[in-house]
């Protein structure tokens, strides 16, 4: 199992990814054949339903995201943590007694990771990934995370939690609509 530890060559990025990722003027192309998803580890999987809720159906919900990352240059590895917390709302934006949280850890290896390392403009010694690679990695992780959350929540809730399609580099508080029951098969 790959472990990311904080040493001079294994720098853990503790700030939010959006603050760290920057583009350079350099033309860089991401080759998806060089990105390998090594592991997915669910960390949090909870839905809380107030006993007063008769039929746990989501109409809409507020979702908050947290994203963290780390990398190991020596192992060409990147770790991404994604956490989503949600609170179900009625049509008047009042909480209806359903909330929960999901989080997953993703480990990926990138054959040419070193080609995507750029210097942090703050010059504080942190290693930063080029925006093209960071966007690709977050896109892979977030789309996988969406599927995990939907399939796990569908077992408990009638509609499941369908996270919105968003620019993964801009994950933050989002209002999302639950799937329309009339379109379900």
Q: For residue 106, is pLDDT > 50?
A: yes
CA diameter of the chain: 57
The answer to whether residue 133 scores a pLDDT higher than 70 is: yes
Locate 29 and state its tokens.
């192309």
H helix count then E strand count, the chain: 2, 7
Tokens of 13: 């990025």
Confidence of residue 122 (pLDDT cuts 50, 70, 90): low
Kindly report the pTM of this predicted structure. 0.76
- Domains detected in the chain: 30-178 (3.10.420.10)
- The residue ranking higher by pLDDT, 79 or 3, is 79
pLDDT at 1: 30
Higher-confidence position of 145 and 57: 145
Per DSSP bridges, beta strands 35-49 and 127-129 are: unpaired
Question: Are the C-beta atoms of 57 and 50 separated by less than 8 Å?
Answer: no
Distance CA 133, CA 165 (A): 19
pLDDT of residue 164: 82
């Amino acid at each position: 199992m790959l472990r990311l530890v904080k040493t001079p060559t294994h720098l853990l990025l503790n700030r939010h990814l959006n603050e760290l990722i920057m583009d350079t003027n350099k033309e860089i192309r991401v080759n998806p054949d060089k990105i390998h998803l090594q592991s997915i580890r669910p960390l949090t999987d909870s839905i809380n339903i107030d006993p007063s809720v008769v039929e746990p159906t989501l109409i809409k919900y507020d979702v908050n995201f947290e994203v963290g990352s780390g990398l190991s240059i020596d192992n060409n590895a990147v770790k991404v943590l994604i956490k989503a917390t949600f609170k179900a709302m009625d049509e008047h934006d009042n909480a209806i007694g359903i909330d929960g949280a999901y989080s997953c850890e993703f480990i990926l290896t990138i054959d040419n990771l070193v080609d995507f390392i750029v210097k942090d403009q703050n010059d504080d010694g942190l290693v930063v990934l080029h925006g093209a690679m960071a966007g690709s990695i977050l896109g892979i992780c977030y789309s996988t995370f969406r599927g995990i959350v939907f399939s796990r929540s569908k077992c408990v809730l009638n509609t499941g939690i369908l996270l919105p399609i968003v620019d993964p580099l801009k994950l933050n508080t989002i209002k999302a609509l639950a799937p329309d029951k009339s379109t379900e098969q």
